[in-house]
Amino acid sequence: MRLNSPRSIGLALLLAGALAACAPTIQIHGYVPPEADVARIRPGFDDTGSVEKLLGRPSSSGVLADSAWYYVQSTVENYTYHAPKVIDRKVIAVNFDQRGVVKDVRRYGLADGRIIALDPQTTATGGREMGVLEQLFGNILNLDAETLNNASGN
């Protein structure tokens, strides 16, 4: 078999495609500022305005009156036929006091995270559940006032 025959070229392309399908796709979500910028924050001196100038606005903030700013970055590995897997996570937490002055800066990684089991019990919504036939045929005669007004005005 010659190396430049169509058959050998097709086999080489097929082999290259099979090898490429085994490579993961790496995606980076979020933003964590460079460590040199984070090191410039001075607890007890800097406030929300100076932190915003140094690091930018956070991806999320604390629940109680911006008591903390969180900069989060996750690296996700995804193989073609598997669920995505988080392989790295960096979190920078800048904590503020009631005056908006930096209390401390903390760093967290993937090892610091905890799996939280969600409760399968949910709060029921108001109203009633519709059956399959009601869902399929429910909108046939469901006309609003504007549609009726436009139909009678023509």
Backbone phi, psi, residue 114, to 5°: -130, 145
pLDDT at 60 over 90: no
Look at residue 45 and give its three-state secondary structure. Answer: coil
pLDDT at 58 over 80: yes
Q: What is the pLDDT of residues 33-51, one digit of tens each?
A: 999 999 999 999 999 999 9
Q: How far is CA 46 from the centre of its chain?
A: 29
Q: What is the pLDDT of residues 66-85, one digit of tens each?
A: 688 999 999 998 887 788 88
Closest by CA position to 32, among listed 84, 78, 88: 88
Distances (CA, A) of 26 to 21, 37, 112, 153: 13, 26, 22, 58
pLDDT at 1 over 70: no
Q: What is the pLDDT of residues 92-131, one digit of tens each?
A: 999 998 888 999 999 998 888 776 666 666 666 666 676 7
